Amino acid sequence: MRKVLTILLLFCTLQVLSAQSLEEFFGFPSPLRTVRENRIKWVYDIRFEYIFDNREYDLSQGRYSPSQTLHTASLTPLAGLQLTQSRSLSHKLMFGIDITKNMGEYPVTEADRSLVNWKMFDEILMYYRMQLQAGETEFLMTAGVFSRDEVDGKYTTAFISDYHDIIDNNLEGLLLQLKRPQSYYEIGCDWTGMIGSMRREQFLIFSYGQTQPLPWLSAGWRLSATHYANALEYGGVVDNILLEPFLKAGIPERKNWKELSMTLGWLQGAHQDRKRDTGIRFPGGLQMQADVQYRSLGANMLLYHGKTIMPFFDLIDSGGFQYGTDLYWGDPFYRLYAPDTYAHSHERGTYGRLEGFWQPHISDFLDLRLSCLVHFTGEMNSRSHCAGWQQKLSLFFSLDRRSSGRKTQPSGRTRLINGNRI
C-alpha cells in the first residue's frame, strides 16, 4: 500500500513541475499568458473558531464515549506569497500557526504557570497550493501541513468523528481536488503517524466524489483507508477500509429552503488484522440521511442498520494498547455493541443520530451554529434507546472565505482537551 502511495505522489509531483505535462494528463488547454507574467503579491488569512460542546452520555453509562464538556477557542493567522503565472495558473506558499486555548485549563504547579501561554502555540502550518482553471474545470493541489477546512468533501461521522477533528485539526500530506459546475472529486493522504518508540507508522487515504446528472438527483462515494503498521518495539499490521456509495435526492436550493434532501447509501467495510490472521472481514449495512433547512432553522437525521463497522475496536495489540479510536476514526457509536465489540461482530444493530440546529447567515466570513444532538442505539432483538445527547455552540470566522466566496461550515471542531479521549 505504501509503495502504491509513493508512486502516486511522485507521479503527481512530476506532473506539477511541468505545466504542459499537467495539461496533457488532464486534457486541459494551455493556459493563456498574461502581459505581466509571474506577478507576486503578499496574501494572508485569519481564522478563528470558538466551540462549546456539552456531552451527556450517562444514559449509556459511557460505554461508547465519556460525558464531558469541551470549551475552547482557536486562532490561526496565516501569511504567504501568491505567484500568478498566467490567467489560469497560480501558486501559493503559506505559513501559519494554530493558537489554541482550552477554557479553564490551568497549570498544575507554580513552576508551570509562566509557561501556560506558550503551551497555547499548538501546531505550525506550512503548505503549497496550486490552482489551475481551464474553462469550467478547476484543479487544485495542496501539499504540506494545512487545515482540514481545505477539504470540501462531505464525510459522515462514520468516517471521521468529532474526536478526530479535535486531535487532528490539520492534515499532513497531499490533497487533490477537481471541481466542475455539476460535479466535485477529491483524493487526499493524511500521514498520521511516523514510526517511533511506542508509535505506529500510520496513514489515511480518503476520497469523495459527487456528480449531479439531474437537478434533483446526485450520486457519489465516500472512502477512507487506514494503514496501521508497526512501532519500533512491536509489530502487527491492520487494514481498515470503509466505502459508501450513495444516491441523494432533493429539491434545488431556493430562497428560503436551503436544504430538503434524502441520502441513501451502503456502508461497506473491509478489515484485516494480519498478525492475528483474521482474514478479511466485510461487515456492512444500510445508511440513510435526511436533511432539511428552512431559512436559519434545520434538522438532520442519520440512521444506520447493519453489522458493526469497527470489529477490532476492543482488541489489544502486542504493545498492550487497545486499537480503539487510534484505528477507527468514526464515531464510537458505530460500534453498536459495547464494550465487547469483537464478540458481537457477526450480529446486526442500529445507530441513529438526530440534530436540530439554528444557523443564521451573519456574513460571508462569519457563521454561527447552535444545535442539539441526540444519539440512539439498538442491539439485535432489542428496542432502540437514547444513548446520550449534546448541546453545541460553534462560531467560525475566516477572511479567506470572504475573498474566495466559499461558504463557511461551522463544524464544532476544536482541539484535544487535556489529552482525554471523547
* Cα(242)–Cα(222) distance, integer angstroms: 8
* Cα(339)–Cα(356) distance, integer angstroms: 29
Query: What per-residue confidence (pLDDT) applies to 19?
Result: 42
C-alpha cell at 135: 474553462
Residue 24 pLDDT > 50, yes or no? no
Q: H-helix or E-strand containing 50?
A: strand 39-56
Q: Which residues of 306-345 are buried (b: 16+ CB within 10 A; e: fewer)?
A: bbbbbbbbbbebeeeeebbbbbbbbbbbbbbbbeebbebb
Q: What is the mean pLDDT of residues 34-62?
A: 84
Residue 410 pLDDT > 50, yes or no? no
* Selected residue with higher pLDDT from 144 and 317: 144
Integer distance in angstroms from the first to the last C-alpha of the chain? 30
* Selected residue with higher pLDDT from 115 and 42: 42
Query: What per-residue confidence (pLDDT) applies to 421?
Result: 30
Residue 318 pLDDT > 90, yes or no? no
DSSP 195-244: -BTTB--EEEEEEEEEEEEETTEEEEEEEEEEEE---SS----EEEEEEE
DSSP at 119: G
Query: What per-residue confidence (pLDDT) applies to 165?
Result: 78
Report helix, strand or coil for 185.
strand
Alpha helices by DSSP H, 30-113: none
Report helix, strand or coil for 354.
strand
Q: What is the mean pLDDT of residues 304-320?
A: 92
Residue 35 pLDDT > 70, yes or no? no
Query: What per-residue confidence (pLDDT) applies to 362?
Result: 87
> How does residue 416 score in pLDDT terms, banded at 50, 70 and 90?
very low
Identify the weakest region by mean pLDDT among 153-162, 180-189, 278-287, 336-345: 336-345
Query: What per-residue confidence (pLDDT) applies to 405?
Result: 46
* Cα(131)–Cα(167) distance, integer angstroms: 29
Q: pLDDT tens across 228-264, in order?
A: 999 989 888 999 999 999 999 999 888 889 999 999 9
Residue 273 pLDDT > 80, yes or no? yes
Residues 6+ apart with CB under 8 A from 343: 337
Residue 130 pLDDT > 50, yes or no? yes
Residue 13 pLDDT > 70, yes or no? no
> How does residue 166 score in pLDDT terms, banded at 50, 70 and 90?
low
Identify the weakest region by mean pLDDT among 6-10, 88-92, 333-337, 347-351: 6-10
Query: What per-residue confidence (pLDDT) applies to 414?
Result: 35
- Asked if residues 164 and 178 have their Cβ atoms less than 8 Å apart, the reply is no
pTM: 0.84
Query: What per-residue confidence (pLDDT) applies to 383?
Result: 65
Which domains does the chain possess? 2-29+40-404 (2.40.160)
**To the nearest whole number, what is the mean pLDDT of the chain?**
84
Considering the chain, what percentage of its residues have pLDDT values greater than 90?
A: 59
Cell numbers 490561526 label which residue?
Answer: 76
C-alpha cell at 46: 485569519
Q: Which of 24-28, 120-124, 224-228 has the highest mean pLDDT?
A: 224-228
